[in-house]
Amino acid sequence: MTALTFFGAALTAFGPALSLFVLTIAHDPVRIIVLILSAFFWLLSLLFSSLFWTAVYPLQHVLAFGLVFSILFQELFRFFLYLMLRKADRVMRKLTENEHTQIFSHPHILAYVVGLGFGIMSGAFSLVNVLADSVGPGTVGFQGESQNFFMISASLGLALILCHTFWGVITFVAFDDKKYHWVAAVWILHYLFSCLTLFNPSGWYVASVLPAYINLGVSGALAFSCAGGSWSRLIQCLPRPSPTPA
Protein backbone atom coordinates (compact mmCIF):
# COMPACT_ATOMS: atom_id res chain seq x y z
CA MET A 1 0.00 0.00 0.00
CA THR A 2 2.46 2.60 1.19
CA ALA A 3 4.86 1.40 -1.46
CA LEU A 4 3.26 4.30 -3.33
CA THR A 5 4.83 6.73 -0.88
CA PHE A 6 8.15 5.02 -1.29
CA PHE A 7 8.13 5.29 -5.06
CA GLY A 8 6.82 8.83 -4.95
CA ALA A 9 9.59 9.96 -2.62
CA ALA A 10 12.30 7.98 -4.39
CA LEU A 11 11.34 9.31 -7.82
CA THR A 12 11.16 12.86 -6.50
CA ALA A 13 14.55 12.72 -4.87
CA PHE A 14 16.44 10.66 -7.40
CA GLY A 15 14.40 11.12 -10.58
CA PRO A 16 16.34 14.15 -11.82
CA ALA A 17 19.64 12.52 -10.90
CA LEU A 18 18.54 9.43 -12.76
CA SER A 19 17.62 11.49 -15.82
CA LEU A 20 21.00 13.19 -15.75
CA PHE A 21 22.74 9.86 -15.41
CA VAL A 22 20.83 8.16 -18.19
CA LEU A 23 21.08 11.02 -20.67
CA THR A 24 24.50 12.49 -19.96
CA ILE A 25 26.64 9.90 -18.20
CA ALA A 26 25.58 6.39 -19.13
CA HIS A 27 26.79 6.50 -22.72
CA ASP A 28 30.39 7.11 -21.71
CA PRO A 29 32.20 4.52 -19.62
CA VAL A 30 34.86 6.97 -18.53
CA ARG A 31 32.22 9.30 -17.13
CA ILE A 32 30.75 6.43 -15.19
CA ILE A 33 34.15 5.66 -13.73
CA VAL A 34 34.69 9.26 -12.73
CA LEU A 35 31.19 9.42 -11.25
CA ILE A 36 31.91 6.42 -9.07
CA LEU A 37 35.31 7.77 -8.11
CA SER A 38 33.68 10.97 -6.95
CA ALA A 39 31.00 9.09 -5.04
CA PHE A 40 33.80 7.16 -3.39
CA PHE A 41 35.45 10.39 -2.32
CA TRP A 42 32.22 11.51 -0.72
CA LEU A 43 32.18 8.23 1.18
CA LEU A 44 35.75 8.87 2.30
CA SER A 45 34.68 12.23 3.65
CA LEU A 46 31.86 10.46 5.48
CA LEU A 47 34.32 7.97 6.94
CA PHE A 48 36.59 10.71 8.21
CA SER A 49 33.81 12.77 9.66
CA SER A 50 32.46 9.72 11.47
CA LEU A 51 35.90 8.95 12.88
CA PHE A 52 36.11 12.51 14.04
CA TRP A 53 32.57 12.37 15.43
CA THR A 54 33.41 9.22 17.38
CA ALA A 55 36.63 10.72 18.69
CA VAL A 56 34.99 13.86 20.04
CA TYR A 57 32.85 11.97 22.48
CA PRO A 58 31.35 14.79 24.55
CA LEU A 59 29.75 16.51 21.57
CA GLN A 60 28.19 13.46 19.99
CA HIS A 61 24.68 14.46 20.82
CA VAL A 62 24.98 17.96 19.41
CA LEU A 63 23.65 17.81 15.90
CA ALA A 64 25.17 21.10 14.84
CA PHE A 65 28.63 19.93 15.75
CA GLY A 66 28.50 16.87 13.53
CA LEU A 67 27.02 18.95 10.77
CA VAL A 68 29.73 21.59 10.80
CA PHE A 69 32.55 19.10 10.61
CA SER A 70 30.87 16.85 8.14
CA ILE A 71 30.56 19.75 5.69
CA LEU A 72 34.15 20.70 6.32
CA PHE A 73 35.26 17.19 5.44
CA GLN A 74 33.07 17.07 2.34
CA GLU A 75 34.50 20.27 0.97
CA LEU A 76 38.05 19.17 1.81
CA PHE A 77 37.56 15.95 -0.04
CA ARG A 78 36.10 17.79 -2.99
CA PHE A 79 39.36 19.72 -3.03
CA PHE A 80 41.45 16.55 -2.73
CA LEU A 81 39.58 15.05 -5.62
CA TYR A 82 40.25 18.15 -7.67
CA LEU A 83 43.97 17.92 -6.87
CA MET A 84 44.05 14.29 -7.77
CA LEU A 85 42.27 14.70 -11.06
CA ARG A 86 44.49 17.60 -12.05
CA LYS A 87 47.63 15.61 -11.18
CA ALA A 88 46.34 12.70 -13.19
CA ASP A 89 45.09 14.84 -16.03
CA ARG A 90 47.87 14.13 -18.51
CA VAL A 91 47.93 10.40 -17.79
CA MET A 92 44.20 10.21 -18.05
CA ARG A 93 44.19 11.90 -21.42
CA LYS A 94 46.81 9.44 -22.62
CA LEU A 95 44.86 6.52 -21.26
CA THR A 96 41.65 7.60 -22.87
CA GLU A 97 43.18 8.62 -26.16
CA ASN A 98 41.42 5.89 -28.04
CA GLU A 99 38.10 6.40 -26.32
CA HIS A 100 35.29 8.54 -27.60
CA THR A 101 35.19 10.40 -24.35
CA GLN A 102 35.43 14.16 -24.20
CA ILE A 103 35.57 14.38 -20.47
CA PHE A 104 39.22 15.26 -20.02
CA SER A 105 39.19 17.77 -22.80
CA HIS A 106 36.19 19.51 -21.31
CA PRO A 107 36.93 20.53 -17.73
CA HIS A 108 33.31 21.58 -17.15
CA ILE A 109 32.05 18.14 -18.01
CA LEU A 110 34.55 16.63 -15.61
CA ALA A 111 33.46 19.07 -12.91
CA TYR A 112 29.82 18.29 -13.56
CA VAL A 113 30.34 14.53 -13.38
CA VAL A 114 32.31 14.88 -10.16
CA GLY A 115 29.61 17.10 -8.66
CA LEU A 116 26.86 14.68 -9.60
CA GLY A 117 28.78 11.79 -8.04
CA PHE A 118 29.07 13.73 -4.81
CA GLY A 119 25.41 14.67 -4.93
CA ILE A 120 24.09 11.18 -5.61
CA MET A 121 26.06 9.64 -2.77
CA SER A 122 25.20 12.40 -0.35
CA GLY A 123 21.53 12.22 -1.32
CA ALA A 124 21.52 8.45 -0.99
CA PHE A 125 22.92 8.57 2.50
CA SER A 126 20.67 11.29 3.72
CA LEU A 127 17.55 9.57 2.43
CA VAL A 128 18.15 5.86 2.75
CA ASN A 129 16.66 5.57 6.22
CA VAL A 130 13.70 7.73 5.42
CA LEU A 131 13.01 5.83 2.23
CA ALA A 132 13.31 2.52 4.03
CA ASP A 133 10.74 3.64 6.58
CA SER A 134 8.43 5.09 3.94
CA VAL A 135 7.64 1.56 2.76
CA GLY A 136 5.23 1.32 5.66
CA PRO A 137 2.84 0.06 6.71
CA GLY A 138 2.92 3.07 9.00
CA THR A 139 3.57 6.73 8.56
CA VAL A 140 4.70 9.52 10.87
CA GLY A 141 2.43 11.70 12.95
CA PHE A 142 2.22 10.48 16.55
CA GLN A 143 4.30 13.44 17.66
CA GLY A 144 2.55 15.87 15.40
CA GLU A 145 4.84 15.39 12.42
CA SER A 146 3.51 16.48 9.05
CA GLN A 147 1.91 13.85 6.84
CA ASN A 148 4.08 15.25 4.06
CA PHE A 149 7.24 14.38 5.94
CA PHE A 150 8.46 11.86 3.38
CA MET A 151 7.90 14.17 0.43
CA ILE A 152 9.54 17.08 2.21
CA SER A 153 12.56 14.92 2.95
CA ALA A 154 12.60 13.81 -0.67
CA SER A 155 12.45 17.34 -2.00
CA LEU A 156 15.25 18.38 0.32
CA GLY A 157 17.22 15.40 -0.95
CA LEU A 158 16.57 16.49 -4.51
CA ALA A 159 17.80 20.01 -3.76
CA LEU A 160 20.87 18.58 -2.04
CA ILE A 161 21.80 16.38 -5.02
CA LEU A 162 21.45 19.21 -7.52
CA CYS A 163 23.24 21.68 -5.25
CA HIS A 164 26.19 19.31 -4.94
CA THR A 165 26.33 19.04 -8.71
CA PHE A 166 26.42 22.82 -9.08
CA TRP A 167 28.91 23.24 -6.24
CA GLY A 168 31.16 20.71 -7.94
CA VAL A 169 31.16 22.72 -11.13
CA ILE A 170 31.76 26.02 -9.34
CA THR A 171 34.58 24.64 -7.20
CA PHE A 172 36.46 23.09 -10.08
CA VAL A 173 36.22 26.20 -12.24
CA ALA A 174 37.19 28.39 -9.29
CA PHE A 175 40.31 26.34 -8.55
CA ASP A 176 41.23 26.23 -12.23
CA ASP A 177 40.91 29.97 -12.59
CA LYS A 178 42.26 30.70 -9.13
CA LYS A 179 39.05 32.58 -8.28
CA TYR A 180 39.09 31.50 -4.66
CA HIS A 181 36.13 33.69 -3.68
CA TRP A 182 33.95 31.28 -5.62
CA VAL A 183 35.23 28.45 -3.45
CA ALA A 184 34.32 30.49 -0.42
CA ALA A 185 30.88 31.07 -1.91
CA VAL A 186 30.37 27.33 -2.29
CA TRP A 187 31.33 26.72 1.32
CA ILE A 188 28.93 29.38 2.52
CA LEU A 189 26.11 28.00 0.38
CA HIS A 190 26.77 24.50 1.64
CA TYR A 191 26.74 25.61 5.25
CA LEU A 192 23.63 27.64 4.72
CA PHE A 193 21.82 24.76 3.10
CA SER A 194 22.65 22.30 5.83
CA CYS A 195 22.26 24.60 8.80
CA LEU A 196 18.79 25.56 7.72
CA THR A 197 17.78 21.91 7.90
CA LEU A 198 18.35 22.20 11.63
CA PHE A 199 14.90 23.76 11.67
CA ASN A 200 13.36 20.49 10.54
CA PRO A 201 13.13 18.89 13.97
CA SER A 202 10.89 21.76 15.00
CA GLY A 203 8.70 21.16 11.99
CA TRP A 204 9.47 24.52 10.36
CA TYR A 205 9.74 22.98 6.96
CA VAL A 206 9.15 26.28 5.19
CA ALA A 207 12.27 27.60 6.88
CA SER A 208 14.39 24.85 5.42
CA VAL A 209 12.77 23.94 2.11
CA LEU A 210 12.24 27.44 0.74
CA PRO A 211 15.80 28.65 1.46
CA ALA A 212 17.10 25.35 0.13
CA TYR A 213 15.49 26.01 -3.22
CA ILE A 214 16.63 29.64 -3.25
CA ASN A 215 20.07 28.26 -2.48
CA LEU A 216 19.65 25.84 -5.36
CA GLY A 217 18.70 28.65 -7.70
CA VAL A 218 21.69 30.76 -6.68
CA SER A 219 24.06 27.81 -6.95
CA GLY A 220 22.59 26.89 -10.32
CA ALA A 221 23.00 30.41 -11.66
CA LEU A 222 26.57 30.61 -10.39
CA ALA A 223 27.44 27.25 -11.88
CA PHE A 224 25.80 28.25 -15.13
CA SER A 225 27.93 31.33 -15.48
CA CYS A 226 31.05 29.58 -14.22
CA ALA A 227 30.61 26.95 -16.89
CA GLY A 228 30.43 29.63 -19.49
CA GLY A 229 26.70 29.58 -19.94
CA SER A 230 25.09 32.55 -21.52
CA TRP A 231 21.62 33.69 -20.54
CA SER A 232 20.88 35.28 -23.85
CA ARG A 233 21.75 32.14 -25.75
CA LEU A 234 19.71 30.11 -23.34
CA ILE A 235 16.72 32.28 -24.06
CA GLN A 236 17.41 32.00 -27.76
CA CYS A 237 17.28 28.28 -27.54
CA LEU A 238 13.91 28.28 -25.84
CA PRO A 239 11.22 27.02 -28.14
CA ARG A 240 9.42 29.88 -29.75
CA PRO A 241 6.13 30.08 -31.64
CA SER A 242 7.96 30.68 -34.91
CA PRO A 243 11.21 28.81 -34.68
CA THR A 244 14.22 30.36 -36.32
CA PRO A 245 16.80 28.03 -37.74
CA ALA A 246 19.66 27.52 -35.32
Partner 1 sequence: MLVRGFLTGLLLALLAALATGKRLKDRMYQPLITHGFCFRRTNGTHQFGCSNSMGGDVGVVHVLFAESDLDWMLEQGPHWPYMAVVRPSLFTGANVERMKRSGKIAGIVVVMNEALANDAPDGYSDDQSCPNQLSSLYWDSQGQCDPDEAPWNPNGSGMLLESFDFPIFLTRHENTTQFLLEDCFNAFNKPHEDGSARDWPLCAVELDAHMYSAVSTETCLRRSNLVNTLNPVKFCDELGDFSYFTFLKAENTSDPSIVEEDQSVIVVSSQLDSITLFDLNEFGADSPITSIVALLETARLLAVNPPDFQGDVSNILFSLLFGEAFDYMASQRLVYDMAENQFPRKYDAEKYPHGQKPLFNVTRINQIVEIGQLFNQKSGQKVFAHTDTEFQGQELLNDLLSAARRHQLDLSAATVSPSKGLPPASSQSILKAQRDIPAMVITDFDDQYTNPYYHSLFDRPKSNLNYDHDQGPDQEVVQHIGRVASTLADYLFEKASSSRARVPTFQANYTLVNELLYCYLVKPACPLFLAVANKETPPFYDPFPIDPFPQYVGVDIKTQFHGIFSHHLLAYFTGEIVEELTNNLEDCQAPDDQDVFSYMFLKGESAPSNWTGEKPCNESVSCGYCFKTLSFRKESKSPAFVIEGYDFKSLNYSSWAESVWKSVNARIFLKGAPSLEAGFFAIGVIVFVFSLVIVFWLNRHASEIFEPGTRTNSTESSATTVSTAGGAAGRPIAL
Residues 147-186 that bind partner 1 (CB under 8 A): 147, 150-151, 153-154, 158, 176-177
Instruction: Give the C-alpha separation, 81 to 41, whole Å.
Output: 7
CB of 158 to partner 1, least distance (A): 7
Instruction: Give the C-alpha separation, 113 to 136, whole Å.
Output: 34
Instruction: Give the C-alpha separation, 119 to 30, whole Å.
Output: 18
Task: Check binding of 27 to partner 1 (CB under 8 A).
Answer: yes
- Beta carbon nearer to partner 1, 36 or 198: 198
Q: What is the DSSP letter of 106?
A: -
CB of 210 to partner 1, least distance (A): 16
CB of 137 to partner 1, least distance (A): 5
Instruction: Give the C-alpha separation, 227 to 217, whole Å.
Output: 15
Task: Check binding of 18 to partner 1 (CB under 8 A).
Answer: yes
Q: Is 228 left (phi over 0), alpha (psi -120 to 50) or beta?
A: left
# binding residues, partner 1 (CB under 8 A): 81
Task: Check binding of 215 to partner 1 (CB under 8 A).
Answer: no
CB of 246 to partner 1, least distance (A): 7
Please name which of 140, 139, 151, 163 lies closest in space to residue 217, comparing C-alpha atoms: 163
CA distances, 30 to each of 9, 90, 102, 156 (Å): 30, 15, 9, 29
Task: Check binding of 19 to partner 1 (CB under 8 A).
Answer: yes
Task: Check binding of 63 to partner 1 (CB under 8 A).
Answer: yes
Task: Check binding of 233 to partner 1 (CB under 8 A).
Answer: yes
| Neighbour count for residue 210 (Cβ, 10 Å) | 11
Per-residue interface string for the shown chain with partner 1, residues 110-149, x marking contact by CB under 8 A: --x---------x--xx-xxx--x---xxxxxxx-x-x--
- Beta carbon nearer to partner 1, 80 or 225: 225
- Beta carbon nearer to partner 1, 62 or 184: 62
Residues 71-90 that bind partner 1 (CB under 8 A): 89
Contact with partner 1 (CB under 8 A) among 44, 108, 192, 220: 108
148, 7 in Cβ contact below 8 A?
no
Task: Check binding of 100 to partner 1 (CB under 8 A).
Answer: yes
191 burial level (CB within 10 Å; 0-12, 13-18, 19+):
middle
